[in-house]
Amino acid sequence: MRYLITVLSIVLLPQILAASEVNVYTSRHYDSDAALYSEFTDLTDIKVNIISGKGPALIERIKSEGVNSRADIFFTVDAGNLWKVQKEGLFQGIKSKNVLTTVPENLRGPNNEWTAIAKRARVVFYNPQRVSQKEIIDLAYEDLADAAWKNRVVIRSSSNMYNQSLVAALISNIGLERTEKWAKGLVENFARKPQGNDRSQIMAVANGEADLAVANSYYFGVMLSGSAGEQQQEAAKKVRVLFPNQKSRGVHINISGAGILKHSPNSENGNRFLEFLLSPKVQKYMVDRSYEYPILEEILPSPEIAGLGLGFKEDDISVKKFGELNPEAIRLMDRSGWK
Ligand code: FE
What tens digit of pLDDT does each residue of 14-73 get?
Answer: 555 555 999 999 998 666 667 788 889 999 999 999 999 999 999 999 999 999 999 999
* Domain span at 278: 2-119+254-302
Q: Has residue 268 been placed in a domain?
A: yes
Say if 28 falls within a structural domain: yes
pLDDT tens per residue across span 311-323:
999 999 999 999 9
The pLDDT of residue 2 is: 59
Cα(216) to centroid(ligand 1), Å: 7
Expressed in angstroms and rounded, the spacing between residue 217 Cα and the centre of ligand 1 is 9
Instruction: Specify the pairing of strand 253-261 against strand 115-126.
Output: antiparallel
Residue 270 shares a structural domain with residue 234: no
Residue 166 lies in a domain: yes
Share of the chain above pLDDT 70, in %: 93
Same domain, 209 and 108: no
Number of domains the chain contains: 2
First to last CA, the chain: 73
CA 184 / ligand 1 centre spacing (Å): 25
Residue 201: inside a domain: yes
Answer yes or no: is pLDDT of 3 > 70. Answer: no
CA of 16 to the centre of ligand 1 (A): 38
pLDDT of 339 over the 90 cut = yes
Q: How confident is the model at residue 115 (pLDDT cuts 50, 70, 90)?
A: very high
My answer on whether 192 and 327 are in the same domain is yes
Are residues 247 and 265 located together in one domain of the fold? no
Nearest partner of 255 among 172, 313, 318, judged by Cα = 318
Per-residue confidence (pLDDT) for residue 36, from 0 to 100: 80
Rounding to the nearest 10 degrees, give the CA dihedral for residues 177, 180, 185, 188: -150
* Separation of CA 97 and ligand 1 centre (Å): 29
* CATH number of the domain that residue 75 is part of: 3.40.190.10
The DSSP annotation for 221-288 comes to HHHHHTTT-HHHHHHHHH-EEE-TTTTTT-B-EEEEEEEEETT-TTHHHHHHHHHHHTSHHHHHHHHH
Q: Are residues 196 and 326 in the same domain?
A: yes
User: Is residue 200 located within the same domain as residue 231?
Assistant: yes
Between the CA of 15 and the centroid of ligand 1 the distance, in Å, is 39
* 225 lies in the same domain as 325: yes
